[in-house]
Amino acid sequence: MSATPPDPAIGEEAHFRSLEALYRSAPINGQYQSELAIVAPGRSKIRFQVGEASFHAAGAAHGTIYFKMLDDAAFYAANSLISDRFLLTTAFNLHFTKPMRGGEARAEGRWISGRRRVLIAEARILDAEGDECARGTGTFLRSHIALSGLAGYRSP
């Protein structure tokens, strides 16, 4: 299998908007104030709010929000290159570089390599001041789940 270019009848922009709709449709994302944008093939951005509800006992963001946003940003960067199948995260390596306090942050995802069965992408989180708080690299496997069969994958 190789990368599947978007169906000409659908187009690249429609694929990107459908992935954004898929992100919004995931029940887990109702727990976060976040918004995904696929900005180019192999690139994504997620703007999100870090609030006290995501803090650990020492008053900074818990690692779960770092993982969630980094994994999602890398995943959607990779899945922007594949228009027929949903990808699955098989591994993710995370490095914390700075505690996140409250406020707006963004996760930026970028595809690195692979277009057949396995894709590799990376992501980083920047806080409101533009400082890097974390980075990670993920490995994503092409699944047997058709994107077109997912209720959330649709043009807005």
Residue 2, in any domain of the structure: no
Please give the residue range of the domain that contains residue 133: 12-149
Residue 96, in any domain of the structure: yes
Write the CB contacts of 69 (distance below 8 Å, at least 6 apart in sequence): 34, 46, 48, 105, 107, 123, 125
- In three-state secondary structure terms, 120 is strand
**CATH number for the domain that contains residue 81:** 3.10.129.10
Residue 4, in any domain of the structure: no
* 0.75 surpassed by pTM: yes
If one counts the domains in the chain, the total is 1
Residue 92, in any domain of the structure: yes
Residue 7, in any domain of the structure: no
Residue 61, in any domain of the structure: yes
Residue 6, in any domain of the structure: no
54-90 pLDDT per residue, tens: 999 999 999 999 999 999 999 999 999 999 999 999 9
- Evaluate whether 68 touches 62 at the Cβ level (below 8 Å): no
87-116 pLDDT per residue, tens: 999 999 999 999 999 999 999 999 999 998
Residue 127, in any domain of the structure: yes
Q: Quick one: what percent of the chain has pLDDT higher than 70?
A: 92
* Predicted confidence band of residue 155 (pLDDT cuts 50, 70, 90): low
Please name the residue ranges forming H helices in the chain: 12-25, 63-79
